[in-house]
Amino acid sequence: MTTDTTSSGPIMGDPGPTGRFGDFGGRYVPEALVPACIELEEAFRGAWADSGFRTELDGILRNYGGRPTPVTVCGRLSDQLGVRVLLKREDLAHTGSHKLNNVVGQGLLARRMGKHKLIAETGAGQHGVATATAAALFGMECTVYMGEIDTRRQELNVFRMELLGATVVPVTSGSRTLKDAVNEAMRSWVASVADTHYCLGSVMGPHPYPWMVREFQRVIGDEAREQCRDLLDGGDPDVVVACAGGGSNAAGIFAGFADDTSSELVAVEAAGGAAVTTGIPGILHGMRSALIQDEEGQILEAESISAGLDYPGIGPEHAHLADLGRARYVAAGDEAVLEAFQLLARTEGILPALESSHALAWVVAASASGELPAGSSVLINLSGRGDKDVAQVRDILRGRA
């Protein structure tokens, strides 16, 4: 049954066959891709209603992926900030981030559809690594498109993908970052749709991707809600915070708290790519969403210290959540992110991904300003580990010495 997410249904429910979240979403693709998107939607609806599919997915995520990931109470950091900080530890999942939840689901779906090749885009490389991992697990071919700039600042992840058997294609067009990697992946999909599945990594793109990816990532929020109730005497956190580029990790954790809780939802974008706080509605990569663009509608280049947030838009459901007022969208700058990266390492012995450090940076600033009242409970989705960013951070900090 299709749920009307604009009336009495769940806030983060089924957008229906049009793929609309309020004024956002949809399916803006070349005519050649319309049948592929429809085929994918039908396949996903069938699989998601199939208990056998769900059981197999849960089993792989548990026995191969390491789920459930824990929620960690950060005692020393909490004492320093004056708020109770809890981390949902997606950094402890296999491959080092939340990305595996989605790619295992899409890999199983591709196999169900009779596809034997996976293509993907990646920025920070974590989605590429996860896709290459799933391809190896399921015996599929894998090609990953990655902006040339990102291949240099994430060399370790490029090598990891190659070790896993994937072909990494550097994209030299445009800004040579994530936006251009998506462009190339979509072009490749048009030419190879008969035997290839495009394993899109975030809650963006044409319907059904924003909804499908959110549902595969919903496991984060469902787990976290139960875990937090054990830690908070049956209550929910006052605030749930996640970084947001396309926004899959934020959508995943928000899905566990958007309905039936009073938890405030806060998504933290990169200051140089703050689509919700500075953008306007437009169409890109098959969706209508909030995008950073000039007065003539030309998409502007996003800038971020983190390759995974270097995207000029956000998923359409996030734009809708902002319109509804159910989630709040803020931004963090590179300096604050670097400081947060180091702070968590020194207080808790945890290296967060630069992407996740955006969420932590906002919590640090909000606790200092009083925006977060003393004693508040704050759940941060630590979407990935920082090993991939250590060389980049080292070079930045040594360059200042």
Catalytically active residues are: 74, 98
Distances in Å between the Cα of 103 and the Cα atoms of 62, 109, 111, 198, 248 are 14, 9, 12, 10, 12
Q: Residue 101: name the closest of 213, 264, 262 by CA.
A: 213
Q: Can you name the residues that pair with 268 across neighbouring β-strands?
A: 243, 330
Say how many Å lie between the first and final Cα of the chain, rounded: 60
Distances in Å between the Cα of 335 and the Cα atoms of 158, 197, 304 are 26, 38, 11
AA letter at 33:
L
The two tokens of residue 51 are 């208990």
* The length of the chain, given as a count of residues: 401
Q: Can you name the residues that pair with 327 across neighbouring β-strands?
A: 265
CB 367, CB 81: distance < 8 Å: yes
CB 328, CB 308: distance < 8 Å: no
Distances in Å between the Cα of 1 and the Cα atoms of 13, 17, 34, 53, 223 are 11, 11, 22, 19, 25
AA letter at 144:
V
| Cα-to-chain-centroid distance, residue 293 | 22
Give the Cα separation of 34 and 331 in Å (integer). Answer: 35
